[in-house]
Chains A and B, each alone.
Chain A
Amino acid sequence: MTGNLPLDLLITVLRSILLVAVLLGLAPVLIVMERKVSAFMQDRPGPNRAAIAGVFRLGGIAYVLASAIKLFTKENFTPSEANKFYYYLAPAISVAVGLTTGAVIPFADTLIFGDHHVPMQVLPINAGLLWFFAIASLGVYGIIFGGWASNNKYALLGAVRSSAQLISYEIPMGMSVIGILMLFQTLQLNEIARAQGGLATFFGLFPLGVHVGPAYIGIPNWGIFLQPVAFIIFLVASFAETNRTPFDLAESESELVAGFHTEYGGMKFAMFLFAEYMGMIVASSVMATLFLGGWQVPFLDTAALQTLSLPLVRIGLGVTIALLALIAIALFRFAASQKGRFGDARDYEGQVLGSVFTVLAAVVALAFFLALGLQTMPAWGGVAFAAFAQFTAYFVKMFLLASTFIWVRWTLPRFRYDQLMNLGWKVFLPVALANIAVTGLVILAINGHH
């Protein structure tokens, strides 16, 4: 906080915009991925016809825009005998929960400009993890209200299943993070992420790696290496919490029509859909923060990123040029293979996009040569670069985890309800409790006198 009220307000607003941009911007991308990835996994091409302005198919993104227009312009109907208030409230609760849970996620280390400390969380509170659990558990109300107010037996069955499921899996989920809390001694997610910098140690005896100048090489001090059991429990419980396959019993389209959102259409349905994907993004973010080091760039902590910013910028730009050039070449090759496929402007999509990427590569090449000419990095440049690199690291980790949600969904069949309950209460709860006990004993053995 800077102590300057208008500036503080501006920074807070900017941070909120960043969060909303990540959540709302990534959800459609995940929807496209869901369709395209599932298609490729099932040996079919997936959505590949619709084109923006008759040219740009963008690998299926045009379909999401078309869906958005369709959902926006659909009739806003209410089923007969539905409880109107709760029927309209339910999707709003789901979306609100999706947006507010993300508030505690750190995007990067605290920015320090002189005496100004700018935390890169929308809500830099000490009870960060508690906030996540508290708000995420409210998400069940969106589903219960939606299912109950729809006046539809399938919706109600879906809602009832979902409420039992969410409550059951919240317990192992909460228990699994206790080991992490015992190790890092804080609930503030930014502190947890910061504590995961540096090298992991072998039960406090010796570090698992070596320091090389400002960097370090070896096994980083990430939660997944300290608490692998907790990671698995948290991951599986996240699938249950976000109602994703193999635990999508709230929806179970093969049994309950569409579960709790059977009676929802148009934008109200789209809000449930968005809430699901935002839930995935937030769960992935929290998992990345707790277990994969959050914004920690592997082998480089914040100070190292700032001191090494100039060579890293050069390497980063070089890699970016190579990537953009590779994408451009792939697009031109794709265009050649697509010659005359549709017989209209869509055949030239590859050439147009390939040219765009070539120009982008040229622009980055210009920046690369500018960076080569730079003798020293200005202080603000180092800070900005560190923040950017850390945001990228966070984003990549989160995106990989979110992709895992999609990957798992198209691999596994749905669990039966009793299997779900058995797994939650008879397997995960005892394992999570045992994990707490073992973690406690190990910590006690290492720092015996505490």
Chain B
Amino acid sequence: MKVARPEADVQEEIYLVAILKGMGITFKHFLANAFNMRRMPTVEYPEKQKQFPAGYRGKHRLTKREDGSVRCVACYMCATACPAECIHIVAEDVGDNTVEKRPARFDIDLLECVFCGMCVEACPVDAIRMDSGIYSITDFARKNFVVTKEQLMATKPQGMPE
């Protein structure tokens, strides 16, 4: 395909007029913003935080049954599906016959995680979700980025029905 290049007209050829036009545009923006700062689309993070749409993959959380116990059955599907190998599960016997296993430990290394959502897709019992709406994951020490089962269970969903 041939893309036609527009020929520079006389104004552009001698630069000066075109430059003055460009300077007019930047000056208009400068004045408009100087006299009306609210006009700018910038979100004043962290005082204001953006609400992300449903389906945004934020920090993980583990869902609970109605009695408050963890829904996860420690089947290792998520850990197997995980391309970053950031999910570390240690299974244990529940003791009664309702479910076979539950996780004793369920650690996610958020520094390894690529937030692809494969774990959520893989889970057969809807135990792991990424609907917390937390997109800014920050801390001062590396070890704090490994979140445990208790932390994951305590994380609340944001704005969406269970």
Task: Determine if A411 and B26 form an interchain contact, defined as CB atoms under 8 angstroms apart.
Answer: yes
Known: A37-B30, A407-B26, A410-B26. A341 touches B16 (CB 8 A): no
Q: Tell me, yes or no, whether B66 is within 8 Å of chain A by CB.
A: no
Task: Determine if B41 and A40 form an interchain contact, defined as CB atoms under 8 angstroms apart.
Answer: no
Residues in A406-424 with C-beta less than 8 Å from chain B: 407-408, 410-412
Task: Determine if A45 and B42 form an interchain contact, defined as CB atoms under 8 angstroms apart.
Answer: yes
Residues in B14-40 with C-beta less than 8 Å from chain A: 16, 19, 22-23, 25-27, 29-30, 33-34, 37, 39-40
CB distance from A59 to the nearest CB of B (A): 10
Q: Tell me, yes or no, whether B44 is within 8 Å of chain A by CB.
A: yes
Give CA–CA (A258, B23) in the complex, Å. 26
Task: Determine if A408 and B37 form an interchain contact, defined as CB atoms under 8 angstroms apart.
Answer: no
CB distance from A372 to the nearest CB of B (A): 34
Q: Tell me, yes or no, whether B67 is within 8 Å of chain A by CB.
A: no
Residues in A396-446 with C-beta less than 8 Å from chain B: 407-408, 410-412
Residues in B101-138 with C-beta less than 8 Å from chain A: none
A-B contact count (CB 8 A): 41
Task: Determine if B41 and A411 form an interchain contact, defined as CB atoms under 8 angstroms apart.
Answer: no
Chain A residues, CB < 8 A from B30? 37, 40-41
CB distance from A39 to the nearest CB of B (A): 8
Task: Determine if A44 and B42 form an interchain contact, defined as CB atoms under 8 angstroms apart.
Answer: yes
Interface size on B, residues (CB 8 A): 18
Q: Tell me, yes or no, whether B139 is within 8 Å of chain A by CB.
A: no
CB distance from A236 to the nearest CB of B (A): 9
Chain A residues, CB < 8 A from B44? 45, 341
Q: Tell me, yes or no, whether B47 is within 8 Å of chain A by CB.
A: yes
Q: Tell me, yes or no, whether A2 is within 8 Å of chain B by CB.
A: no
Chain A residues, CB < 8 A from B39? 43
Residues in A50-89 with C-beta less than 8 Å from chain B: none
- Per-residue CB contact flags for chain A residues 27-51 toward chain B (1 = under 8 Å, else 0) read 0000000000100111111000000
Choose among A41, A232, A343 the residue that contacts B26 (Cβ–Cβ < 8 A). A41
Give CA–CA (A343, B48) in the complex, Å. 12
Task: Determine if A342 and B47 form an interchain contact, defined as CB atoms under 8 angstroms apart.
Answer: yes
Task: Determine if B27 and A407 form an interchain contact, defined as CB atoms under 8 angstroms apart.
Answer: yes
Give CA–CA (A341, B46) in the complex, Å. 11
Task: Determine if B40 and A44 form an interchain contact, defined as CB atoms under 8 angstroms apart.
Answer: yes
Which residue of A is nearest B37, CB measured?
A45
Give CA–CA (A410, B29) in the complex, Å. 11
Task: Determine if A45 and B40 form an interchain contact, defined as CB atoms under 8 angstroms apart.
Answer: yes
Known: A37-B30, A40-B29. A407 touches B37 (CB 8 A): no
Choose among B16, B23, B25, B34 the residue that contacts A40 (Cβ–Cβ < 8 A). B34
Task: Determine if B16 and A407 form an interchain contact, defined as CB atoms under 8 angstroms apart.
Answer: no
Known: A40-B29, A40-B33. A341 touches B42 (CB 8 A): no
Residues of A within 8 A of B (CB): 37, 40-45, 232, 341-343, 407-408, 410-412
Known interface pairs A410-B26, A411-B19, A411-B25; 16 further A-B residue pairs with C-beta atoms within 8 A, sorted by A's residue number? A37-B30, A40-B30, A40-B33, A40-B34, A41-B26, A41-B30, A42-B29, A43-B39, A43-B41, A43-B42, A44-B42, A342-B47, A407-B27, A411-B23, A411-B26, A412-B19
The 6 A-B pairs with the shortest beta carbon distances in the complex, nearest first, are: A40-B33, A41-B26, A411-B26, A40-B30, A411-B22, A41-B30
